[in-house]
Amino acid sequence: MDLTLVVIQCLNGMQLGILLFLLASGLTLTFGIMDFVNLAHGSLYMVGAFLCATLTFWTGSFIWGVLLALPLTALAGIAVEFIVVRHLYSRDHLDHVLATFGLILCIDTMTHLIWGAEGIAVPLPAFLNGQVELFAGIIFPSFRLLIIGAGLIVAGGLYYLVNHTRLGMLIRAGASNRTMVSALGVDIQTLFTLVFALGAVLAGLAGMLIAPITEASIGMGNEIIITAFVVIIVGGIGSMKGAFIAAMLIGLIDTLGRSYIDDLFKLAMSTEAAETAAPAVSAMLIYILMAVVLTFRPQGLFPPKVR
């Protein structure tokens, strides 16, 4: 086995993990703190990508596209919270699922009407479109490196926000016991709106970062949101630390599975059988992980304390 390749695949896994973390952190905030199941979280990821794509063409620069799209995505998040989500907090989970599923269909159709069916390829500035040599022989696309960097900065910022600020204290308190927080005189409604907008921005950022790699396309969020749910279930619902570690774990397992499982299978079966079985099994790996975690630790790997 080639060591350089292993390192590159680990970096690829980390990059996928970072994207999953950006999505899952918002999901775990809304689910853990507001007790709200938001299937439409992926739609905000898509909206972020489309806004960024349009603004990139409009301003002529991807960086400006992202910077301008972030507050717009926050506004979109606030609008969604205000129009739909806020009326559902007191309902049970099934209502959440039904309503947010309907929201997915609405947002998908709206996107179709505004931007058309074909999707948008987002151009990158030249300095992000190349590769960098990290150290001897390890050449990695610079944009993927930027994703890892940006994600780590965001993760650090979130860590600071959640553990060292007043807002973070309220978020943590809300995750532990919502009723008590509101009984202590905290305006829980505003807190929820803020948390929802924060989740929207994080999801939108993930969408903006993936758009130059794949493209902004309708339904892109619905594909990745399932994996984000797996992340928060494995990590422990409501836990930021759990979301980070589980996202990294799942990113690495998925990427390394895709890289090495066919070679592994070829040791045990015919080449043809291995080629057919490998993609199926590697797509399953993360669900197998989830099943194992649910069996031995149903509360997830790092559940928030005092639940």
Partner 1 sequence: MITKSMTTLLALAASAGVALAKDVKIGFVTTLTTPAGVIGKDMQDAVNLAVEHIGGKMGDLDVKILFEDDGFKPETGKQVTDKLVKQDDVDFVTGYIWSHVLLASRKSVIDAGKFLISSNAGPSPIAGKLCHENFFSTSWQNDQTPMAMGEVLNQQGVKSIYVMAPNYAAGKNMVAGVERTFKGDIKGKDFTKWGKDAQLDFSAELAKAKASGAEGIFVFYPGKAGGAFIKQYQQAGLQSVMPLYSVFTVDSISLPKFQAASMEGVLGSRMTQFWAPDLDTPQNKKFVSAFKAKYGKYPSFYAAQSYDTIFLIKSAVEAVNGDLSDMDGMRAAMKSANFPSVRGKFTYGNNHMPIQNFYLREVVKDGDGNWTTKIVSTVYENHQDSYAGECPLK
Least distance to partner 1, CB of residue 31, Å: 21
* Residues at the contact surface with partner 1, assessed by CB under 8 A: 2, 4-5, 8-9, 12-13, 15-16, 57, 116-124, 129-131, 139, 141, 143-144, 210, 212-215, 217-220, 222-223, 226, 255-256, 258-259, 262, 275-276, 278-280, 283
Please say which residue, 174 or 212, places its beta carbon nearer to partner 1: 212
Give min distance, CB of 61 to partner 1, in A. 13
Query: How far apart are alpha carbons 59 and 5 in whole angstroms?
Result: 38
Of 57 and 159, which has the nearer Cβ to partner 1?
Answer: 57
Cα 52 to Cα 69: distance, rounded to the nearest angstrom: 5
Which residue's CB is nearer to partner 1, number 41 or number 258? 258
Please state the closest distance from residue 81 (CB atom) to partner 1, in A.
Answer: 27
Longest CA span, the chain: 66
Residue placing its CB nearer to partner 1 in the complex, 209 or 243? 209
Give min distance, CB of 164 to partner 1, in A.
34
**CB-nearer residue toward partner 1: 257 or 304:** 257
- Enumerate the β-bridge partners of residue 131: 141
Q: Give the integer Cα–Cα distance in Å for 180 and 161.
A: 21
Q: How far is the CB of 286 from partner 1 (least distance, A)?
A: 12
User: Measured from the CB of residue 266, what is the shortest distance to partner 1 in angstroms?
Assistant: 11
For partner 1, the closer of residues 83 and 284 by Cβ is 284
